Structure 1
Amino acid sequence: MALGDLHEATAAETNNLYYVDVGMYDTPAYGLVYILDAERPALIDTGTGFNYKTVLDAMETVGISPEELEVIAPTHVHLDHAGGAHLLADACPNADVCVYEAGAQFLTDPTAIWEGTQNVIGDRIEYYVEPEPIPDDRVVGLEDGETLDLGDHSLEVHHAPGHAFHQAVFYDPVNDGVFTADAAGINSPHIDGITHTSPPPGFDLSGCLADVELLQSLDPAALYYAHFGDRETGTLLDEYADRLESWVDRVAAKRQELDDDEAVLEFFAERAKTMDAWGKAHAKEEERMNVSGVLHDLDQRE
């Protein structure tokens, strides 16, 4: 798997769904964009924008021209999911950009989300494109419980704020699958098991566990991970809930032991289990970011 690789999603008899590897952080099988070949064609998530032309090429392979695309639907406005929205909207003039209503403001005025991303991402900002404002009349704010009609498919909108207050997951009842955003963790084919994602400042353990319960209540046959690809649901949601709780417990215990947050960050960064799959630089920075989110959550509880 590498930049530009196009895959057909088939988990639990999924149909009309494809995903393209956008080479995020120069890491294979880490970041993707979904292409739903519905009567009203849609993209779910956009990547950082760094390789947005890869998405247009994949659409062409599927048989969707830029003019035919009708919906661009970021699951939330973290820029690994929405950073390419303005570029794809420019290239696809008939597409609405549909996002959970709390995130819409960051698409029409991306100043704050860009500044926040630079602060959190560090050196990996080189893999991002500075977002430009999307005109108000191109952005559609979605409400919790709303259904986005795509003709022969639909996306049911479910607010899932544990990872970020502006996150939603989208359930496609025709495929009986849910686009998980970051609510079900990271499940890349190049890593062993499910990996946590807990970035600051929005990570909230209790909220994330509630999001897992939400996904369980939808009882989908398939999970469509933003990081990375389609999976049959099986026990994955139970596994992720256990993983989150044990991850936060580990960070809290190490903080109590070391009594120095920078030492805690460095301890986990140096031991990131994803180094072989993602490369040392990306894996370490990702783990530092995840530990920062847990430490922030622990502070908020105090």
Structure 2
Amino acid sequence: MPLLLLFWGGSVQAMREQIDLGYSRLYVLDATPRDFGAEYIRVYIVDGGEQAVAVVETGPASVAESVAKAVAEIANGRQVEIILTHVHIDHGGGAGRVAGLLTEQGLQVAIWAHPRGAPHIVNPSKLWKASNEALGETALVYGEPEPAPSSAVHETRDGMELCLGQARLRIIHTPGHASHHQSILLEPAVGQGERILFPGDSAGMYDPSSQGLAPTTPPPLRLDMYRESLRRMIDEKPDRIAFTHIGLGPAQLLETHRWQVDIWEETVREALARGLDPEKTLEAILDRDPYTARLYQRLGGTPHGRRMILNSVLGFMDYVQRMQGSY
């Protein structure tokens, strides 16, 4: 598993890790804007050795130039299939710009997204407005998405497959974090081999260095759908999980996250009954959940990282309050 450290300048420090799966190569890029303050976003490139490469996520618009440069180098003239887990601007905000830069270099590019998310890639104005309202200054760090031509944007179907020579990518619609969320399973097209799941934001965020894990659940969270999506991914029995936030981890993290979601919901219900505000609710979660506590040590020291974890708390609080109001 050779590791290459490359620096292309601009707003991102791009780390490339090359993993040989036998039937394909998997490249891992750091696509975190420098101003974020901590490594937070990964882009994955799948090279099955044939006529096309796949890019899982593009990261935000502010790092599009660096990501496009890395993709073009690996693609080496081949077609590029961009697959977004969802269109939130830290995952797919750079899709339009990356596609445009690659097209300028003569590459054929297709962008694949959930049917509910695809229109926001073509016209991201509503997405950008909502992102500013939800994320504040963090949205400015990510940058404003550029529109992609409608001819380049394609809708996925649950269960559809994209074949890249020896590699196959299967789409699994996994709503809950967002209605337009999907996950991707990388597996050999023929025979045996390690299977990698790209869960986007449907299985939390994981830091390999601290082994910290926490939900990524901003409002409006549908926790019932989130749990069902998590069950579907567990049933797939992947070998490893390639988290967009922040790296690769073992498959058992899916079960750990299922336990974690129960702890969060129970803690939030108790906190709301006591009249605690989001900050105090976060403190209560940190006291009960060692995985979140580890991740908070990693991200909580930066204003943008702390905002991401607090937004997850707000999502749980909003969900519980809506459920209580429906009785």
When you count strand as a share of all residues, which structure comes out higher?
2
Alpha-carbon shift at residue 120 of structure 1 (Å): 1.0
Matches of 2:30 and 2:38 in 1, distance apart? 7
Aligned length: 293
Partner of 2:280: 267
3-state secondary structure, aligned to 2:274: helix
Point out the more displaced range, 211-220 or 188-197: 188-197
Kindly provide the amino acid, as one letter, of the partner of residue 221 in structure 1. D
Task: Give the TM-score of the pair, scaled to structure 1.
Answer: 0.89
Instruction: Tell me the residue number matched to 2:191.
Output: none
- What's the CA shift for 1:286? 1.7
Residues 1:4 and 2:14 aligned together: yes
Look up the match of 1:227. 245
2: CA distance between counterparts of 1:287 and 1:6? 26
Do structure 1's residue 277 and structure 2's residue 298 form an aligned pair? yes
Over the matched positions of the two proteins, sequence identity in percent amounts to 25
- What is residue 100 of structure 1 aligned with on the other side? 114
Distance 1:214 1:14 in 2: 25
Quick one: which amino acid aligns to residue 54 of structure 1?
S
Deviation at 1:150, TM superposition (A): 2.1
TM superposition shift of 1:256? 1.1
Tell me, yes or no, if structure 1 residue 22 matches structure 2 residue 44: no
* Distance (Å, rounded) in 1 between the aligned partners of 2:66 and 2:170: 27
Residue number among 37, 53, 57 corresponding to 1:45 in the alignment: 57
* Secondary structure of the structure 2 residue equivalent to 1:187: strand
Counterpart AA for 2:87: V
| Secondary structure in structure 2 of the residue aligned to 1:250 | helix
Distance 1:238 1:80 in 2: 25
**Dislocated runs of 4+, deviation >6 Å:** none
Q: Which residue of 2 aligns with 1:54?
A: 66
Question: Is residue 218 from structure 1 mapped to residue 239 from structure 2 by the alignment?
Answer: no
Could you say which residue in structure 1 is the equivalent of 2:259? Answer: 242
Q: What corresponds to 2:41 in structure 1?
A: 31
Alignment counterpart, residue 174 of structure 2, candidates 125, 144, 160: 160
How far 1:53 sits from its partner (Å)?
2.1
Partners of 1:132 and 1:189 in 2: CA distance: 32
Would the alpha carbon gap of residues 69 and 53 (structure 1) be closer, same or farther in structure 2, given more than 3 Å must change? farther
Q: Which letter does structure 2 place at the counterpart of 1:288? A: L
Where does residue 64 of structure 1 map in the other structure?
A: 75
Deviations 1:102-124 (A, max 9, x none): 21111111122111111111221
Deviates more, 1:267-276 or 1:85-94: 267-276
CA deviations 1:241-282 (Å, max 9, x no partner) are: 010111122122111102xxxx52222456684453122412
Q: Distance in 2 between matches of 1:288 and 1:250?
A: 14
> What's the Cα RMSD here?
2.2
Show the 5 A alignment for 1:60-139.
Answer: 63-65=74-76, 67-93=77-103, 94-139=108-153
Letter of the structure 2 residue corresponding to residue 293 of structure 1: G
Task: Tell me how far apart the structure 2 counterparts of residues 3 and 238 of structure 1 sit (CA, whole Å).
Answer: 32
Q: Which runs of 5+ in 2 are unaligned?
A: 6-11, 189-193, 287-291
Q: 2:227 is matched by which residue type in structure 1?
A: L
Asked whether the 8 Å contact 1:22–1:51 carries over to 2, the reply is: yes
Q: Aligned equivalents of 2:135 and 2:262: distance in 1?
A: 24
Deviations 1:7-32 (A, max 9, x none): 1246x878410111112452443101
Match of 2:314 among 292, 295, 300: 292
TM-score calculated relative to the size of structure 2:
0.83
| 1:227–1:105 CA distance, 2 compared to 1 (3 A) | same
Q: Distance in 2 between matches of 1:283 and 1:90?
A: 29
Q: 1:115 to 1:191 in 2, by over 3 A?
A: farther
Say if 1:69 and 1:26 are closer, same or farther in 2 by CA, change over 3 A: farther
Give the aligned partner of residue 200 of structure 1: 219
Q: Which runs of 5+ in 1 are unaligned?
A: none
Distance 2:39 2:242 in 1: 13
Q: Match for 1:266: what amino acid?
A: E
